[in-house]
Chains A and B, each alone.
Chain A
Amino acid sequence: MTETDLSKRIVFQNDDGGVSIIIPADCGLQIEEIAAKDVPTGKPYAILDASDIPADRSEREGWTVNEANLTDGVGE
C-alpha cells in the first residue's frame, strides 16, 4: 500500500470565502489523489507543508488565502 505523506496539507478557499485545510489520513492514497478527490469539484487548491499552516487558531475564522496561489490543482 502506498504511504500517504502526512506532513502535507491541502488548502482551498471554501464557499464562505474562508480557508479550508484538508488534513490527510494514512489511507494509502497519494496527497495529490486525496486533493483531487476531497477538494470540492472545481475549486483550486495548493499543497503545503503542515508547518506552513498556523498552529494558533485563535483567529481561525479570519484566515484568508490568495486564490492566485492555489495552483497545484483543481478539485475533481
Chain B
Amino acid sequence: MPRTGGVFSLLSGSKGTPNTTIQSAPYNAQLDDFAADANAARPVTAGGTGATTASGARTNLGLAIGTDVQAQDALLQSIAGLTTVADRMIYTTGVDTAAVTTITSYGRSLIDDLDAAAARTTLGLVIGTNVQAQDAGLQSIAGLTTAANQLIYTTALDTYATSSLTAFARTILDDNDAATVRATLGLGSLSTQSTINNSDWSGTALAVANGGTGGTTQATARTGLGLGTLSTLNSVNNGNWSGAALAVANGGTGGTTAAAAKTNLGITDDIQAWVNFNGTGTVAIRASRNVSSITDNGVGDYTVNFASAMSDTNYAVFAWARYANSTSNTLLGPFAWTSDTKTTSAVRMRVQYSDPGSTGAQDSPEVNLMVVR
C-alpha cells in the first residue's frame, strides 16, 4: 500500500541518485504505486472522504444522517429560521411552521411538573387545602340564587333551598342558651312552667270570652257561664222540672198524662189496668198497673180501685182466681152481683166456689183481674 495511516510515502529506492542512471524497476514500481493511490479513495486526512460511496463518505466525515446530522425537515427548517431571545418558547402556527412566544420562569415551573398532583400544587389548587373537593351538596348550594336575609336549608339529600332569615330571627340564633332565647322573646318565668296552678295565677278572673268563667266563685262562675240553678243539681226529677212536657223528638213523651203520652208515642194499649193479689191471710198486692188499691170487703169480696179513672164504664173486666184447695169437682168463679160496683174509678168482684151440693164465697191465694177498653 502506498499510504500508512493515510500518509503517502515514496517507495524505498524510488528516488534517483545524482549522476546515476534511473533504473526502470524502481521507477515503474513508484508509478504503479502512484496509480494505485490515485485510484484509491483519498483518506480524510488527505482531504478526501476515505470512501467510494456517498453514504460511506458521510459516515467517514461524521455526517451520517440520523446519527450525526438531522435529516432535512421543514419544521426544523422553520425553527432554524426563528429569531430567539431569552425566555421564549417555540410553538407551531401551522403545518411545519413554528413561531416563538414568551415563557416566564413561572410558566416553566408549571410545565416541569411530573403529574397532575404536582401541577395542582404549583397552581395553588391542592384539593382540600386550597380548593373544595367536588360535592353534590355544595353544587346545590352553588346553584342557589341568594338575596339579603336568607338562610340555606336542606330539602332532601344534597339538595338545598333558601328561606327568609329576618334580623329578629338572627337575634335568636346568636343566643347562647335557652335563658337568653327566652329573654330575646320577652318570655317571663311562666314560660318554663310545665303546668299552671292556682299559685301561678295572679291575674283577674279569666273572662268567658277568653275561655274562662269570668268569676272567682262557683256562683259567679255559673253566672258568667249563664248557668241556672239546674246546673247544681245531681239529678232532674219531678220536683225540679218546670218545663213543658218533653217532646217525643227530644226523647220525651210530649204528654203530661199517661193517656197523652201513649197517644204521642203511638201506643194503643187497650189494657187499662190489671192486678195480681193474694186474697188469703194478710191480703197483699203482688203486682199491678193503674191500680191504687184493692178493698177487701170480706171473704172472696174485693173492689179494685183504679189509680187513673176509666173514660167510661164500658170497659171489659177479665178475672181469674186460683182455688185455695185441691178438691176435685170444685168450680171457682170470679163474678159480680148485679148490684156490685162498676164505675170509672173502681170495679167490685167476688170469688165463689161451687162443689156438688154446696157453694159459697172463698178467699183465693191468687186473684187476677184485667180491665180492657
Which A residues have a C-beta under 8 Å from some C-beta of B? 1, 6, 10, 14, 16, 18, 20-29, 34, 37-38, 50, 53, 55, 57, 60-61
* CB of B369 to closest CB in A, whole Å: 12
* CB of B337 to closest CB in A, whole Å: 12
Contacts of B283 in A (CB 8 A): 21, 23
B292 at the interface (CB under 8 A from A): yes
Contacts of B346 in A (CB 8 A): 38
B370 at the interface (CB under 8 A from A): no
Judge whether B363 and A37 touch: CB under 8 Å. Answer: no
Contacts of A22 in B (CB 8 A): 293-296, 305
B281-310, CB < 8 A from A: 281-285, 288, 290-299, 303, 305, 307
Judge whether B280 and A57 touch: CB under 8 Å. Answer: yes
Q: How many residues of B contact A (CB 8 A)?
A: 26
Contacts of B298 in A (CB 8 A): 16, 18, 20, 60-61
B277 at the interface (CB under 8 A from A): yes
Given contacts A1-B238, A26-B288, A57-B363, contact A38 B305 (CB under 8 A): yes
B347 at the interface (CB under 8 A from A): no
Judge whether A38 and B295 touch: CB under 8 Å. Answer: yes
Contacts of B238 in A (CB 8 A): 1
* CB of A1 to closest CB in B, whole Å: 7
B349 at the interface (CB under 8 A from A): no
- In Å, the complex CA distance between A1 and B281 comes to 29
17 A-B pairs whose Cβ atoms sit less than 8 Å apart in the complex: A6-B284, A10-B293, A20-B296, A20-B297, A21-B283, A21-B295, A21-B296, A22-B294, A22-B295, A23-B283, A23-B293, A24-B285, A25-B292, A28-B307, A29-B292, A38-B346, A57-B299
Judge whether B285 and A18 touch: CB under 8 Å. Answer: no
Judge whether B281 and A24 touch: CB under 8 Å. Answer: no
Contacts of B288 in A (CB 8 A): 25-27
Contact of A55 among B281, B293, B296, B345 (CB under 8 A): B281
Counting chain A CB atoms within 10 Å of each CB, which of B284, B285, B291, B305 scores highest? B305
Contacts of A10 in B (CB 8 A): 293
Contact of B305 among A16, A18, A37 (CB under 8 A): A37
Contacts of A23 in B (CB 8 A): 277, 283-285, 293-296
- In Å, the complex CA distance between A5 and B333 comes to 32
* CB of A31 to closest CB in B, whole Å: 9
